[in-house]
């Protein structure tokens, strides 16, 4: 059953409260580089631990950047709050790092909310504040949020990152770290790298190709018997049913052949629904997603460096 995640502060959702607490902790160490560039990191948002782990991955960058985190996928309310904080600290150019597995996730909605593409209505006169935007998370830490959709009020220009984690070479090293930590005897082990996956078949194939490119790092680093990538296609029941059969067969076959199965989730954080999918099977895992790993912080830093050289776009004037 999905339950609302709230803090003790008047029922505010944790995906709103935690960034504020994190920023308060960073306030004593202002960014070393004071200029007009700010960084807005977008993340899905989930359980309390999910959010804390994301904030921990971003925190090392706060010493050198005017940076803020907006949870809630593409939620106008949290994006407005982050933009306002960055502007209050002097930002006029805001680079948006979208911490999602796919580079396509919520890109159009984000562009519309920031006003650099048409489609979002003006901010309502009585826009719903954060305390009414309840965050929800299921038992596996997956998040669902009530997302506002309107244009933020801003005087800044924006540039958005294009790359998702599935496209990032840095994630190959993260997978190697996970595999090394779990492995005992690679020649007697098979590895399954498991991701959420989209509904569209062509897009799913692209995910698998990119996942396989990241998995090549694992194949080259350790002599595993097999390294397989799969997507569960979690939100599409018919496609998920077929994926579950393949996923369970891979793990079961390893055990039947007296091999040890290792399962590594290609998720931003946590193990998601995979424990339920693999129930009753023998396999090794650590329950961790890509975070926590310094490779994710490195990727965010690389995205920031790219965005600093990007072409920034001003929001269209009202009515455009």
Residues 19-73: tens digit of each pLDDT: 444 544 444 344 445 489 999 999 998 889 999 999 999 999 999 999 999 998 8
Q: Is the pLDDT reported for residue 142 higher than 50?
A: no
Kindly state the helix (H) or strand (E) to which residue 38 belongs, with its residue range.
strand 37-43
The answer to whether 94 touches 116, Cβ cutoff 8 Å, is: no
**Full-model pTM:** 0.83
Residues of the chain with CATH 3.40.50: 3-162+294-308, 166-277
Please list the residues that pair with 262 across neighbouring strands: 191, 284
Q: How many CA atoms lie within 13 A of 57 on its CB side?
A: 27
Q: Cα(213)–Cα(230) distance, rounded to whole angstroms?
A: 13
Burial 149-183 (b: 16+ CB within 10 A, else e): ebbbebebbbbbbebbbbbbebbbbbbbbbbeebb
Q: Cis omega before residue 292 (within 30°)?
A: yes
On the question of pLDDT at 155 being above 60, the answer is yes
Q: Is 7 exposed, middle or buried (0-12, 13-18, 19+ CB in 10 A)?
A: middle
Residue 273 pLDDT level (bands cut at 50, 70, 90): very high
Query: Which residues have C-beta within 8 Å of that of residue 114, sequence separation ≥ 6?
Result: 79, 83, 96, 151, 152, 154, 158, 160, 315
As a whole number of angstroms, the distance between CA 307 and CA 157 comes to: 12
How do residues 215-236 score in pLDDT, each as one tens digit?
Answer: 999 999 999 999 999 999 999 9
Can you tell me the distance from the alpha carbon of 91 to that of 60, in angstroms, rounded to the nearest whole number?
19
pLDDT of residue 197: 95
- The predicted structure's pLDDT at residue 29: 44
Q: Which residue has the higher pLDDT, 249 or 145?
A: 249
User: What's 166-277's CATH class?
Assistant: alpha beta
For the chain, percent of residues with pLDDT exceeding 90? 78
The CA distance from 283 to 183, in Å, is 11
Cβ atoms of residues 77 and 128 within 8 Å: yes
pLDDT band for 278, please (50, 70, 90 cuts). very high
Are 146 and 4 contacting, i.e. CB atoms less than 8 angstroms apart? no
pLDDT at 128: 53
Q: How confident is the model over 134-149, as a mean pLDDT? A: 46
User: What pLDDT does 28 receive?
Assistant: 39
The whole-number average pLDDT for the span 101-116 is 94
Helix (H) or strand (E) holding 16: helix 14-26
Q: Which residue has the higher pLDDT, 272 or 127?
A: 272
β-pairing, 93-99 with 157-160?
Answer: parallel
Tell me, which fold does domain 3-162+294-308 have in CATH?
Answer: Rossmann fold (3.40.50)
Secondary structure (3-state) at 99: strand
Query: Which pLDDT band holds residue 125 (cuts at 50, 70, 90)?
Result: confident
Contact 48, 18 (CB under 8 A): yes
**Token pair for 164:** 């998702």
Q: Which residues pair with 3 in a beta bridge?
A: 137
CB 72 within 8 A of CB 15: yes
* 86 contacts 152 by C-beta, under 8 angstroms: no
Higher pLDDT pick, 85 / 46? 85
DSSP one-letter code for 57: H
pLDDT at 12 over 70: no
Contact 284, 120 (CB under 8 A): no
Q: Which of 20-24, 80-84, 204-208, 228-232 is least confident?
A: 20-24
Angle of the 76-88 helix axis to the 14-26 helix axis, nearest 10: 10
293-310: pLDDT as tens digits: 999 999 999 999 999 999
Q: Which residues pair with 265 in a beta bridge?
A: 194
């Amino acid at each position: 059953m999905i339950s609302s995640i709230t803090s003790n502060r008047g029922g505010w959702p944790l995906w709103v409260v935690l960034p504020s607490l994190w920023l308060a902790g960073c306030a004593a160490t202002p960014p070393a580089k004071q200029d007009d560039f700010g960084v807005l990191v977008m993340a899905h948002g989930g359980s309390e631990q999910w959010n804390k782990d994301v904030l921990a991955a971003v925190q090392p960058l706060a010493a050198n950047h005017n940076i803020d985190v907006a949870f809630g996928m593409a939620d106008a309310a949290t994006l407005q709050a982050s933009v306002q904080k960055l502007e209050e600290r002097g930002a006029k150019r805001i680079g948006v790092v979208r911490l999602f597995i796919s580079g396509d996730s919520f890109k159009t909605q984000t562009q519309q909310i920031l006003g650099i593409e048409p489609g979002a209505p003006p901010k309502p006169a009585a826009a719903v504040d954060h305390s009414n935007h309840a965050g929800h998370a299921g038992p596996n830490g997956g998040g669902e949020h009530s997302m506002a959709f309107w244009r933020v009020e801003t005087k800044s220009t924006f540039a958005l990152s294009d790359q998702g984690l599935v496209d990032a070479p840095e994630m190959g090293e993260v997978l190697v770290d996970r595999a090394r930590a779990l492995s005992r005897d690679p020649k007697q082990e098979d590895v399954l790298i498991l991701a959420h996956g989209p509904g569209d078949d062509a897009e799913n194939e692209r995910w698998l190709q990119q996942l396989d490119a990241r998995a090549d790092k694992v194949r080259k680093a350790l002599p595993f018997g097999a390294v397989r990538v799969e997507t569960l296609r979690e939100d599409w029941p018919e496609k998920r049913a077929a994926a579950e059969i393949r996923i369970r067969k891979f793990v079961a076959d390893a055990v039947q052949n007296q091999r040890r199965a290792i399962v590594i989730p290609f998720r931003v954080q946590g193990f998601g629904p995979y424990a339920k999918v693999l129930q009753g099977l023998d396999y090794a895992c650590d329950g961790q997603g890509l975070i926590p790993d310094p490779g994710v912080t490195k990727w965010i830093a690389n995205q920031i460096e790219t965005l600093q050289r990007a072409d920034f776009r001003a929001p269209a004037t009202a009515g455009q």
